[in-house]
Structure 1
Amino acid sequence: MTVTSSAYGDGGTIPRRHTCDGADVSPPLALAAVPAHTAALALLLRDTDAPHGAFTHWLVWDVDPRTRQLSAGEHPQGATEGRNDFERPGYGGPCPPRGDRPHHYVLTVYASDRRVALSAQASPTDLLRTLSGHTLGTGTLMGRYSRG
């Protein structure tokens, strides 16, 4: 499965618009080669360089498996957006401490053989536990961002 964005390439710099320093909207995404028999998609965006371990910026599950594109700022219709580590549902853009080297933000899309059906209060650990043994494929997109 592949995940791409017209806003930045894999390993590229995430534009300010998609961060806490800009409009703080999720980037546009395109998905390809979604495995057959996928019942639902899930997305997890994490800062892997956060000072106290991976910091979750976005978690979404039960995305329609026919989804091939999401526009910037789009909430996937019918999906559930869980609480990120900013303690709010939905997308929270990159916002590393000032002066840190660029942080790496890894967006992983999971193709699941079943719907997840978790409560909106579920944690990333809950999501990953539920996907365990039910993931048909994954795709990732990594971007970098620094606040200088």
Structure 2
Amino acid sequence: MKKVTSVINTIALLCMLLVILYVILRWNMAPESIPVHYDAAGIPNRYGAKLEAMLPLVILCVMYGILTIFQQVPYNDEIKGGDVITLDKKIEKCLLALLMGMEKLVLTLIFGTIIVYAMKSLALPSNFLILALFFVFIPVLFFLCYYLSLWKTKKQPN
């Protein structure tokens, strides 16, 4: 599972670097007024200066950094104060690292798509919001289902 997490992290980092490179290369060709807010149907409903395209890029970099830091934090294997059944520390850390990596990839793709469409002054696809929400929650559901299946197989103490 560590190899899968490593591959996902590498793909997410490459996607983020490609978005940054795209903004740098496309900066002079972008119109002065670009869409900065979209409604649920993907139609721009507010325009702003070209510099406002940097805001989603900054948000993306900050979120990527925060998730990367959370991925590196050591996980506490002792939970005090009740009859709580925990899995092995290594399994939980691998699952959480995989979840963080998948979320980094999804958020990078979502923000990258928004930035590219804004720099080209295009409307987002009409189903973008639904797909974005779907792909944000898929890793969480995967994590919960996998964690619960592992938890059920662990013997409970008497």
Q: Greater share of helix residues, 1 or 2? A: 2
Asked if Structure 1 and Structure 2 have the same fold, meaning a TM-score greater than 0.5 normalized by the shorter chain, the answer is no
Larger gyration radius, structure 1 or structure 2: 2
* TM-score scaled by length of structure 2: 0.22
* TM-score scaled by length of structure 1: 0.23
